[in-house]
A = this chain, B = another copy of it.
């Protein structure tokens, strides 16, 4: 592994002091912001996440705020998903596509009211796309990045920890719903959501000055629950089949290729930007699609680039995320496989056949 040279351009977060005081060992950069990746070790962090409760600095899930009379109209142009029935306490996973149907981001949208939305983004400057569209089409809406930094509480003991800070009321929040709850002299939007399959919450911390007070309150309250700092865990997220924008799909891929067809039903949303392209693709079906893939044998190293996937000497796809899973006893991975090479079901097996140009090569 190489060292990371830091500068203001790789933004710190309202929780960086807590993260570094707790001995973070490695970072990645996500939305030009520091995202922790390892505290004790990826495997020890994984074991702890599945057993206890962790506090994650996911400030890098920056928010794009749409504020004004055209906010809902613009929001609906951005995504193929039909938002008509969405209520003001709901979160929706919304693929965002361009005019070719290419994925620009796969964020979570938070509806505050018809005039006000947040989009909690994956790793691309979605702000610039949304703002460009609004300025280009002269819509009556302000688009900006508010001072909001999500802090996630994840793991099987999340409810118990959160109830100590926000009261018993927090337990009543349903999955992908949110509620505004008091903290000290302010209040935060709290959602039942997060980038793990272990259950938990995301707290949308408005005003960075409240970052460390909230961090400290969670660690003080959680001592008896064995709370620790954590971060999205490579092993757990691949086990759970959670996609990572930039890793498992890019602007070159459509939502249908990403297995997100249920959010793109033709005719459900007549005004979104990618409608023409996605309607044409739906008629023929996607040319390739994301698949969970297991790689038997010894642990492989995490993929630093897309590994070519071959079958009988022919390139039929790529492997994009890999990790050794102690619980599954195999390498879990995610890849994109050409349409003629899908088995029944979604799980494929593969074997590593060697290395070329510093990159592993897999075969079905």
Contact = CB atoms under 8 A, between A and B. Distances in A.
Interface of A: 1-12, 16-17, 20, 24-30, 32, 37-38, 98-99, 104, 123-126, 128-137, 244-247, 273, 302-306, 320-321, 357-358
Contacts of A104: 128
Contacts of A136: 132-137
A5 B27 contact: yes
A199 B4 CA distance: 28
Contacts of A6: 1-2, 28, 302, 304
Nearest to A99: B135
A246 B28 contact: no
A12 B303 CA distance: 12
A138 to B, nearest CB: 8
A132 B123 contact: no
Contact of A125 (B27, B98, B125, B137): B125
A99 to B, nearest CB: 5
A32 B126 contact: no
Given A8-B305, A17-B357, A247-B8, A135 B135 contact: no
Contact of A7 (B28, B126, B128, B135): B28
A4 B124 CA distance: 19
B10 A29 contact: yes
Contacts of A321: 7-8
A11 B304 CA distance: 8
Nearest to A1: B3
Contact of A8 (B3, B124, B304): B304
Contact of A124 (B30, B125, B306, B358): B125
What 6 A-B pairs have minimum CB-CB distances, sorted nearest first? A132-B132, A136-B136, A9-B246, A125-B125, A4-B4, A29-B29
A251 to B, nearest CB: 8
Contacts of A99: 135
A69 to B, nearest CB: 17
Given A129-B131, A135-B98, A247 B9 contact: yes
A29 B37 CA distance: 15
B2 A26 contact: yes
Nearest to A38: B5
A140 to B, nearest CB: 13
Nearest to A139: B136
Nearest to A244: B9
B32 A10 contact: no
Given A4-B28, A8-B247, A10-B28, 6 more contacts: A2-B24, A4-B26, A29-B29, A128-B132, A129-B131, A129-B132
Nearest to A29: B29
